[in-house]
Amino acid sequence: GDSVTQMEGPVTLSEEAFLTINCTYTATGYPSLFWYVQYPGEGLQLLLKATKADDKGSNKGFEATYRKETTSFHLEKGSVQVSDSAVYFCALSGDTGFQKLVFGTGTRLLVSP
């Protein structure tokens, strides 16, 4: 079945550092890919998405490119802020009929001043 693998956390960075959170997936066909963010004590919010190969999703300075050849969707940000501290989830959705979202286990990001 479909699956998503994320790098384990926590990822600890200083403010203004470069961020990469790795995400790879296994799926048949052409899934859509998502990054969700969960701030402390809150539900999940969609951060960005990409629906086909080579698409780049971007939002709030975060970017991720849908790489079908490497089945990856790594999240990047050039300069993190303390307010970016949260748990980040990579997810995919299949491309036929009704499809559930399949989530990775999440990666906690801690940014210190």
Partner 1 sequence: SQTIHQWPATLVQPVGSPLSLECTVEGTSNPNLYWYRQAAGRGLQLLFYSVGIGQISSEVPQNLSASRPQDRQFILSSKKLLLSDSGFYLCAWSVLGSGGFNEQFFGPGTRLTVL
Closer to partner 1 by Cβ: residue 19 or 44: 44
- Decide: is 11 part of the binding site for partner 1 (CB under 8 A): no
The site string for partner 1 over 94-113 (x = CB under 8 A, - otherwise) reads xx-xxxxx-xxxx-------
Which 8-state DSSP code applies to residue 4?
E
- Decide: is 85 part of the binding site for partner 1 (CB under 8 A): no
Closer to partner 1 by Cβ: residue 29 or 113: 29
Piece of the chain touching partner 1 by CB under 8 A; list 14-22, 45-53, 54-62, 70-78 = 45-53
Alpha-carbon distances, residue 50 vs 54, 66, 67, 95 (angstroms): 8, 6, 10, 12
DSSP character string of 47-112: EEEE-STT-EEEETTEEEE-BTTTTB--EEESS--GGG-EEEEEEEE-SSSS--EEE---EEEEEE
Footprint of partner 1 (CB under 8 A) = 31-32, 34, 36, 41-46, 49, 51, 89, 93-95, 97-101, 103-106
